């Protein structure tokens, strides 16, 4: 059995008590928690979701937001929705890997040809299947937020090719797929929590990291990592999820309101993400970061062994369906 922390128990009890108070008001209140700060485009998009849900339901449904990791890490938030202590959260698809086996596919490097290919898949039948693939694990997907493409940035020297990653300690998420990718490229993957990364870059605990443009800028990592290579090795979406307990309590009308509000929020977030990505790139250049355009074919060659392994695994059919999507 999993070890349940005291914090996890206290948060669960708190929301059980809070939910009974909310029900007395005659309004369906959805408690939505996430780990990002209030300036992040994802948080702003969730505010948009809350506004639209209130509008569509004519005040019958409301959203209470708990940003900035107030209620725990992404893993803890997933566990909280599974038991119904909170109603919704936003997590990286990578964080769903230990819970939903199919979501491992998103961490495959160079799975998508470009942004158009990514969104064709997410908005099509494959994307819908993946949103529903968590129901056996008490997780129901509601929609995808754009999280851009992840690229490498470094503190001591520029990276032009996988050869340059040799001997470099690269911070990765605590994801087996991310670890395997950096190893395949020749680097030394080093899982470190996001909150500790700025200091780790500054003190030389790691030589670099990888993330999307807004996160690189908003985290101020550009202050200590002056080299950015736009290799765009993965495009891992964020996923807005609820628990099957919460979803099962909703009427069909409420589900329609939530789905419509989420669709509006997704459109809002994609437009905002593109705007902030361009602004972030301009800002880090202005701050003196050397931005390098990658020859992606070299990086793609370095991860061929990962593609071969996935193709021969239980994810092989899904991998080929995504690659063949047009």
Q: What are the boundaries of each domain within the chain?
A: 6-146+237-277, 150-235+282-324
Cα–Cα distance, 40 to 27 (Å, whole number): 28
Cα–Cα distance, 159 to 152 (Å, whole number): 8
* Angle at 154 (CA atoms; ends 221, 193), nearest 5 degrees: 55
The candidate with the shortest Cα–Cα distance to 185, out of 226, 221, 214, 151, is 151
Place of tokens 């609820």: 242
CB-based burial, 262-280: b 16+ in 10 Å, e otherwise: bebbbebbbebbeebbeeb
In this predicted structure, what is the pLDDT of residue 8? 56
Q: Tens of pLDDT along 62-96?
A: 999 999 999 998 999 999 999 999 999 999 998 99
In this predicted structure, what is the pLDDT of residue 21? 44
The candidate with the shortest Cα–Cα distance to 103, out of 234, 213, 231, 194, is 234
Task: Specify the CATH architecture of the domain 6-146+237-277.
Answer: 3-Layer(aba) Sandwich (3.40)
- Asked whether this chain's domains 6-146+237-277 and 150-235+282-324 adopt the same fold, the reply is yes
In this predicted structure, what is the pLDDT of residue 173? 83
In this predicted structure, what is the pLDDT of residue 205? 98
The candidate with the shortest Cα–Cα distance to 287, out of 227, 204, 229, is 227
pTM of the full structure? 0.88
In this predicted structure, what is the pLDDT of residue 140? 98
Task: Specify the CATH architecture of the domain 150-235+282-324.
Answer: 3-Layer(aba) Sandwich (3.40)
Q: Find how far residue 272's CA is from the centre of its chain.
A: 16
Regions of the chain where pLDDT drops below 70: 1-25
Helix (H, G, I), strand (E, B) or coil at 229: strand
Residue pair 197/219 in contact by the 8 Å Cβ criterion: yes
Place of tokens 């993330």: 211
In this predicted structure, what is the pLDDT of residue 110? 97
Residue 297, C-beta contacts closer than 8 angstroms, at least 6 positions apart: none
In this predicted structure, what is the pLDDT of residue 71? 95
């Amino acid at each position: 059995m999993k070890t349940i922390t005291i914090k996890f128990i206290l948060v669960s009890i708190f929301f059980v008590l809070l939910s009974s108070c909310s029900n007395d008001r005659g309004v369906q209140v959805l408690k939505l928690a996430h780990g990002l700060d209030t300036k992040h485009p994802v948080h702003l998009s969730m505010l948009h979701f809350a506004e639209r849900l209130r509008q569509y339901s004519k005040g019958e449904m409301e959203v209470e937001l708990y940003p900035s990791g107030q209620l725990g890490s992404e893993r803890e938030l997933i566990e909280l929705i599974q038991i119904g202590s909170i109603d919704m959260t936003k997590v990286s698809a990578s964080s769903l890997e230990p819970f939903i086996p199919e979501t491992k596919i998103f961490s495959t490097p160079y799975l998508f040809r470009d942004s158009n290919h990514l969104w064709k898949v997410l908005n099509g039948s494959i994307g819908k299947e993946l949103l529903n693939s968590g129901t056996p694990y008490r997780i129901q997907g509601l929609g995808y937020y754009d999280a851009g493409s992840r690229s490498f940035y470094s503190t001591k020297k520029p990276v032009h090719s996988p050869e340059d990653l040799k001997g470099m300690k690269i911070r990765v998420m605590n994801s087996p797929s991310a670890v395997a990718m950096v190893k395949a490229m020749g680097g030394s993957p080093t899982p470190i929590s996001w909150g500790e990364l700025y200091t780790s870059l500054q003190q030389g605990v790691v030589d670099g990291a990888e993330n999307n443009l807004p996160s690189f800028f908003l985290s101020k990592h550009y202050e200590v990592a002056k080299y950015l290579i736009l290799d765009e090795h993965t495009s891992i979406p964020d996923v807005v999820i609820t628990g099957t307990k919460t979803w099962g309590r909703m009427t069909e009308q409420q589900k329609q309101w939530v789905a419509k509000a989420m669709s509006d929020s997704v459109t809002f977030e994609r437009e905002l993400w593109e705007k902030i990505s361009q602004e972030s790139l301009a800002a880090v250049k202005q701050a003196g970061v050397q931005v390098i355009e990658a020859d992606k074919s070299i990086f793609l060659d370095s991860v061929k062994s990962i593609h071969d392994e996935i193709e021969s695994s239980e994810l092989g059919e899904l991998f080929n369906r995504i690659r063949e999507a047009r």
